[in-house]
Amino acid sequence: MMPDASDLGAVWLTLKLATVTTLILMVVGTPIAWWLARTRSWWKGPVGAVVALPIVLPPTVLGFYLLLLMGPNGVVGQFTQWLGIGLLPFTFGGLVVASVFYSLPFVVQPIQNAFEAIGDRPLEVAATLRASRLDAFFTVAVPLSKPGFLTAAVLGFAHTVGEFGVVLMIGGNIPDKTRVVSVQIYDRVEALEYANAHWLAAAMVAFSFMVLLALYTLNPTGKRK
Partner 1 sequence: MFRTALIALAVLGVAGARAGEVSVAVAANFAAPMKVIAADFEKDTGHKAVTAFGATGKFYAQIRNGAPFEVLLAADDSTPARLEAEGAAVAGSRFTYAVGRLVLWSAMPGFVDDKGEVLKKGGFRHVSVANPKIAPYGAAAVEALTALKVGDAVQPKFVLAENIAQAYQFAATGNAELGFVALAQVMKDGRIRAGSAWVVPADLHRPIRQDAVILDKGRGKPAAEALLKYLKGDKARAVIKSHGYDL
| Contacts with partner 1, residue ranges (CB under 8 A) | 67-68, 70-73, 86-87, 89-90, 168, 170, 172-174, 186-187, 189-192
Q: Given the complex with partner 1, which of 74 and 147 has the nearer CB atom?
A: 74
Question: For residue 103, which phi and psi values (nearest 5 degrees)?
Answer: -100, 0
Residue 21 or 184: which CB sits closer to partner 1? 184
Which CB, 116 or 187, lies closer to partner 1? 187
Rg of the chain, C-alpha, whole Å: 20
Pick between residue 32 and residue 168 the one whose CB is nearest to partner 1. 168
Among candidates 112, 7, 95, which has minimal Cα distance to 59?
95
Smallest distance, Å, CB 183 to partner 1?
Answer: 9
- The half-sphere exposure of 55 on its side-chain side, counting CA atoms within 13 A, is 13
Query: To the nearest whole angstrom, how small is the minimum distance from the Cβ of residue 89 to partner 1?
Result: 4
